[in-house]
Structure 1
Amino acid sequence: MDYGLQGKTALITGGASGIGKAAARTLLAEGAQVILVDLKGDEVSRAAKELAHGTCALQADLRDPNQIKGLAATTQERFTMPDILVCAAGVTGAKGHPLEMTDSDWHDAWESDFMSVVRTVRAFEPTMENRGWGRVVILCSENAAQPYENEAVYNVAKAALLNFAKGLSGVAARRGVLVNCVSPAFIETPMTDGMMAQKADAEGISHDEAVRSFLKSDRPWLALERRGRPEEVAATIAFLCSEQASFVVGANYRVDGGSVASIAV
């Protein structure tokens, strides 16, 4: 299937590893050029070298509005403004009882997982509208539809992203830019590796045992009974970036192995 991405340029935040890097690999295979962006400069440079032809790397802290403005200026000066924006950067944030989260915990999650995306879209989407074609794919999470009690700050930020994307999608679509979301669950990424490492250390068990225990106790509806692979999420991202998704607006595609129990959202 031809996704119609030959010659398109994609900018991917959180591109040094995990889902962002997998999305880059998939879009490159479809003929796109890719600009990887990440907080970790050395890691994003290594990722760009590994992916090789058609890939370049930029470092930016997306929690800083001035760095996002600088990122847009550098992208325009050194490369070209993207046709496709994939917002995959984010953190899980503080964990614990929702009412025990401090103002700082809430603020940090809001800046890292919500405002960073709003500001990045604000910096790059208008150029797509001016051209009359574009794709914006925002990585949300199962937590937006199925909030877990010890991940309140992350739940709220991801739910807000769904609302933001839906609100933007209608006005953007009228100018040729399609905005959609992808909500993964428990994917094999450095973020979930860190979660499982902490669990393994705390309980004195192996990494694999920690994964199995977590699935049983915390993700009982995950029908496939395993972590997802980044490339499984990347395939959905690539579809939403393509010409094949030309009638998909304001949608949320769950790539969650059945983890979310409800049919809503």
Structure 2
Amino acid sequence: MNIDLTGRKAVVTGSTAGIGRAIAEGLARAGASVVISGRGEERVATALQELRALFPKGGFSGVVADLATLEGAAELFAQAPDADILVNNVGTGRAKPFFDIGDSEWRDLFELNVMSGVRASRHYVPDMMKRGWGRVVFISSESALAIPVDLIDYAMTKTAQLAIARGLAETVAGTGVTVNSVLPGPTNSEIMGGWMKAAAEAQGITQEEAEQQFLKTTRPSTLIKRFATTEEVANLVVYVCSEQASATTGTSLRVDGGVVRTIA
């Protein structure tokens, strides 16, 4: 399969590292020009420098903005007013017992993980519909289906993304715009990699041993018996953004290593 996104412009939120960065690279490799975003000027500048070194002929631009805020969203839209492909990737999570999560933490996480995608979709999708082509992808999580007890607030935001994506797909039905969710499982992303590195250092074991310990205790149903790479997640996202995926819409696609024990 030859995926060619030449001439397409993609906006990937939260793309200076981790899964978002891998998605930006994958889309660029397929020929798309890519707008990356992040909250820190130095991180955005570094990512742009590295991407331009990897793809000298690629088209890249960067936006420094906090997409958990209305002001940050406005900054993104001002600097990148249009897109053929929108990947709502920005988000975070933190392990914390339910009874210790305060109201402000719930609101802050919802603003970043959910409202960032709502605002971006509300801005970019109408023009996609007018042109008769567009791709929107929400990066959710297997935690949207199998709720971890120490990440209930995070799981709530990921489940919310599934509802938004399905509703938006129905809203744009027949326009040539597709909307889907991609659900990674345990992945060597910046966030999870950081957690595993800290756990390894605290216990005096290797990071690989910490990952295996995590899988055995919290994700024993994994079928690949390892963390996925960010590139493996990005591969599915790039396909969903392609012309070849024109009949795939309104669905949730798992790249979770088989963690969720269901056949549907």
TM-score (norm 1): 0.93
After superposition, where does 1:48-197 map in structure 2 within 5 Å? 48-52=48-52, 53-76=58-81, 81-93=82-94, 95-197=95-197
Matched letter for residue 9 of structure 1 = K
Structure-2 separation of matches of 1:86 and 1:239 = 12
Structure-2 separation of matches of 1:97 and 1:129 = 42
Residues 96-128 of structure 1, C-alpha deviation per residue, up to 9 Å, x if partnerless? 332332112211211121111111211222221
Residue 225 (structure 1) aligns with: 225
Structure-1 separation of matches of 2:96 and 2:39 = 26
Residue 55 (structure 2) aligns with: none
Structure-2 separation of matches of 1:44 and 1:227 = 26
Structure-1 separation of matches of 2:199 and 2:104 = 24
Secondary structure at the aligned position of 1:231 is classed as helix
Is 1:251 the counterpart of 2:251? The answer is: yes
Does structure 1 conserve the Cα–Cα contact (< 8 Å) formed by 2:12 and 2:35?
yes
Residue 45 (structure 1) aligns with: 45
Structure-2 separation of matches of 1:183 and 1:150 = 19
Offset of residue 6 of structure 1: 1.2
TM-score (norm 2): 0.93
Structure-2 separation of matches of 1:58 and 1:41 = 8
Describe the shift of the 1:188–1:249 C-alpha distance in structure 2 as closer, same or farther (beyond 3 A): same
Offset of residue 201 of structure 1: 4.1
Offset of residue 217 of structure 1: 0.6
Offset of residue 203 of structure 1: 3.4
Structure-2 separation of matches of 1:22 and 1:247 = 24
Stretch moving more, 62-71 or 97-106 = 97-106
Structure-2 separation of matches of 1:33 and 1:51 = 11
Does structure 2 conserve the Cα–Cα contact (< 8 Å) formed by 1:68 and 1:123?
no
Does structure 1 conserve the Cα–Cα contact (< 8 Å) formed by 2:179 and 2:250?
yes
Structure-1 separation of matches of 2:245 and 2:173 = 12
Residue 263 (structure 1) aligns with: 263
Matched letter for residue 84 of structure 1 = I
Alignment root-mean-square deviation, CA:
1.5
Residue 11 (structure 2) aligns with: 11
Residues 197-252 of structure 1, C-alpha deviation per residue, up to 9 Å, x if partnerless? 33234434332221121111111011111110111111110111011011111111
Secondary structure at the aligned position of 2:87 is classed as strand
Identity %: 38
Offset of residue 61 of structure 1: 0.4
Structure-2 separation of matches of 1:65 and 1:149 = 30
Structure-1 separation of matches of 2:36 and 2:232 = 19
Structure-1 separation of matches of 2:201 and 2:33 = 41
Structure 1, unmatched stretches of 5+, are: none
Matched letter for residue 79 of structure 2 = T
